[in-house]
Amino acid sequence: MLETKTPSAAPVLIAGGGIGGMAMALTLHQIGVPCVVYEAVPELQPLGVGINLQPNAVRELYDLGLDDRVLDRIGIQAREWALVGRNGREIYAEPRGLAAGYRWPQYSVHRGELQMLLYRTVLERLGPGAVQLGQRVTGYRNGEEGVTAQIETRDGQRREAQGALLVAADGLHSAVRAQMHPQQPPIHWGGAIMWRGTTPGVPIRTGASFVGLGSLKHRVVCYPISQPDPATGLATINWIAEITVDNSQGWTQGDWNRRVAIDEFIHHFAGWDYGWIDVPALLRGASQVYEYPMIDRDPVPTWVDGRVALLGDAAHVMYPVGSNGASQAIVDARVQGAALQAQGVGPAALRAYDDRLCADISALVLRNRGAGPFGLLGLVDERCGGVFDDIDQVVPKAEREAFMARYKAAAGFAIETLNAAPPTVRV
């Protein structure tokens, strides 16, 4: 058990029971620090579609005792990441996870299944009182010895909870971030619209490939998030169909996550049948489709105010072009855990966490606005309008590889660095 700088009974308060909040709770439990998660929704449900967990985050889940025996049940180990031009020709492909030489796999999983796995694990390890549902954190007050979280319950009651620290993992619309940075600009939308769904289908290429097909402003991404059914050979294929439009009027649909009919957007992908992938059939095969604008927030100069720290999307919501939103939320929790281990449960540890991550990850947020690894499609568009016979004549192999290496180093998943790094949290 760690020495705490506040009365030992005071738990760390966590706002938000998403992937970041649950990873934080498991980390605190692992290092012997009591905590309580306050989650706004009255019932957690497995919402969302596919996400990728990069090896840097999978390593942290393994260190929490959630290894391949558990993760193989909710997802599939990714083997390849590939970009294909609108003409159906390959631009770039590289192995991923274990196949790339990482000591840990990359996983493609259903976001909601991962959240539920973490939730169940928190309840098993910390007990049923560790997650309080229907409790929305609306603000905070820093004190000398601790912090007060203001909470609104589902039936409209207001109450307060006292803690040693408050970790705000309350997502994109974070109330804590809004109080910490009252001048923050509104959500930023660059003009890309994504339609997302899952469809039963036969996995393409390696059987566990992430494929981006098309051009920078008009593309489809797909990858399996389950093992194929042994009887039918069909896996759950996660897909994202995306176009970029003029954003000068702002996002006018109001809703950030709207269920839509396939006929509202499928015309953008008419004729995208390459034999090895029939995009219109893939899109039509989904039972539910959701529309999301691709949004983020301008970075803030700090994620910490006294005894309060932002984590996950509350700190750095970013365009999902590099598959690192959920991964970074997990890594944040582990880096913060390590700081608490080293410095005790107090503001100094939060400052160390802030120093370690805020500037670098804020730069990643801005880098992802430039399309992240999909920027390669932009280079191809610029140089040949997306039509080529020999990709080496357009973007030479060395240039393609250098582009991807730069991105991976910035996102914290350079292979040798990660493989050689000591565990983030000492256990």
Ligand X SMILES: Cc1cc2nc3c(=O)[nH]c(=O)nc-3n(C[C@H](O)[C@H](O)[C@H](O)COP(=O)(O)OP(=O)(O)OC[C@H]3O[C@@H](n4cnc5c(N)ncnc54)[C@H](O)[C@@H]3O)c2cc1C
Q: Which residues bind ligand X (CB under 6 A)?
A: 15-21, 38-41, 47-49, 51, 111, 136-137, 169-172, 175, 312-314, 320, 325-326, 329
Q: Tokens in use for 210? A: 């992430």
Cβ neighbourhood burial of 403 (10 Å; 0-12, 13-18, 19+): middle
Residue at 209: amino acid letter:
S
Q: What is the DSSP letter of 393?
A: H
Residue at 405: amino acid letter:
A
User: What's the min distance (Å) between Cβ of 317 and ligand X?
Assistant: 7
Give the C-alpha distances (Å, rounded to integers) separating 36 from 48, 106, 171, 394, 408. Answer: 24, 30, 17, 54, 34
Of the two residues 5 and 297, which places its CB atom closer to ligand X in the complex? Answer: 297
Do residues 336 and 353 make contact, with C-beta atoms less than 8 angstroms apart?
yes
Query: Whose CA is closest to 171, among 303, 312, 49?
Result: 312
Q: How far apart are CA 36 and CA 13, in angstroms?
A: 5
Closest residue by beta carbon to ligand X = 18
User: What's the min distance (Å) between Cβ of 250 and ligand X?
Assistant: 21
Of the two residues 49 and 377, which places its CB atom closer to ligand X in the complex? Answer: 49
User: What's the min distance (Å) between Cβ of 53 and ligand X?
Assistant: 10
Of the two residues 8 and 179, which places its CB atom closer to ligand X in the complex? Answer: 179
Of the two residues 118 and 425, which places its CB atom closer to ligand X in the complex? Answer: 118
User: What's the min distance (Å) between Cβ of 312 and ligand X?
Assistant: 2
User: What's the min distance (Å) between Cβ of 149 and ligand X?
Assistant: 9
Of the two residues 169 and 289, which places its CB atom closer to ligand X in the complex? Answer: 169
User: What's the min distance (Å) between Cβ of 318 and ligand X?
Assistant: 8
Query: Whose CA is closest to 409, among 375, 379, 364, 365?
Result: 364
Of the two residues 57 and 394, which places its CB atom closer to ligand X in the complex? Answer: 57
Residue at 355: amino acid letter:
D
Of the two residues 363 and 402, which places its CB atom closer to ligand X in the complex? Answer: 363
Q: What is the DSSP letter of 101?
A: T
Of the two residues 71 and 395, which places its CB atom closer to ligand X in the complex? Answer: 71
Do residues 251 and 245 make contact, with C-beta atoms less than 8 angstroms apart?
no
Q: Tokens in use for 138? A: 């609306």
User: What's the min distance (Å) between Cβ of 51 and ligand X?
Assistant: 4
Of the two residues 47 and 300, which places its CB atom closer to ligand X in the complex? Answer: 47
Helix axes 397-411, 375-384, angle to 10 degrees: 150
Is 285 in a helix, a strand, or coil?
Answer: coil
User: What's the min distance (Å) between Cβ of 8 and ligand X?
Assistant: 25
Q: Report the relative pairing of strands 35-39 and 12-15 from DSSP bridges.
A: parallel
User: What's the min distance (Å) between Cβ of 164 and ligand X?
Assistant: 18
User: What's the min distance (Å) between Cβ of 347 and ligand X?
Assistant: 22
Of the two residues 235 and 326, which places its CB atom closer to ligand X in the complex? Answer: 326
Q: How far apart are CA 301 and CA 354, in angstroms?
A: 10
Of the two residues 86 and 181, which places its CB atom closer to ligand X in the complex? Answer: 181
Q: Is the dihedral of CA 247, 252, 256, 259 positive or negative?
A: negative
Cα Rg, the chain, nearest whole Å:
22
User: What's the min distance (Å) between Cβ of 20 and ligand X?
Assistant: 3
Within its chain, how far is the Cα of 296 from the centroid? Answer: 12
> What stretches of 127-271 show up as alpha helix (H) in DSSP?
175-180
Q: How far apart are CA 201 and CA 222, in angstroms?
A: 11
> What stretches of 239-316 show up as alpha helix (H) in DSSP?
279-284, 313-316
Q: Which residues contact 326 (CB under 8 A, 6 or more apart)?
A: 19, 51, 52, 53, 57, 111, 114
